[in-house]
Amino acid sequence: MRRARRCPGRPGTGRARTRLPVRPAGGAAVTGVRRAGPTASFGGLPHERSHGESFLALLDHRFGPRGLYLLDESEAALSVTGAMAVLGRMADLTAQGCQFVVAIHSPSLLALPGATILEIDDDGTIRRTSYDGAGPVGLTRAFLTDPDAFPRHL
């Protein structure tokens, strides 16, 4: 097996790129394929940010016009402020022709203007609902109305 060779990185990034040998099935190794570090494509080094900050950088630097994006519980990493920032970015992207399919429990992200909200019931039935009729919205409103009641019911 060939070892990856180090080659000079882009000026100003402080990171070298790795030139990886590529071996197609049944073929000879192809060299010259370069893997750029995460600095350019993700707006910085992910390990220098929180999970939520990294997710926001992903939306800013990797999501572009006319894309289809499938997200699963993307709110897990987000603070309330972060969820509002994601909501704003999703609104910007939908205005640029993007579509999102999102499995989510966040009432904040369900508030995307023009979103079609589908819920899956306990029996597996899929039904369309309004923002106000969505389970996470009702549960959050009930909690905010009487937060002291919830520890007794959990």
- State what percent of residues in the chain have pLDDT above 90: 49
Residues forming CATH 3.40.50.300 domain(s) in the chain: 64-146
Beta strand spans in 38-154 (E): 68-72, 99-103, 117-120, 126-129
Tens digits of residue pLDDT in 87-98: 999 999 999 999
Q: Which of 68, 114, 61 is nearest to 91 (CA)?
A: 114
Question: Which is the CATH superfamily of the domain at 64-146?
Answer: P-loop containing nucleotide triphosphate hydrolases (3.40.50.300)
Q: Hey, what long-range contacts does 72-75 have (CB within 8 A, 24 or more apart)?
A: 72/102, 72/103, 73/103, 73/104, 73/105, 74/102, 74/104, 74/109, 75/104, 75/105, 75/106, 75/108, 75/109
Write the pLDDT tens digit of every residue in 53-75. 888 888 988 899 999 999 999 88
Does the pLDDT of residue 124 top 50, yes or no? Answer: yes
Higher pLDDT, 99 or 1: 99
Give yes or no for residue 10 having a pLDDT over 50: no
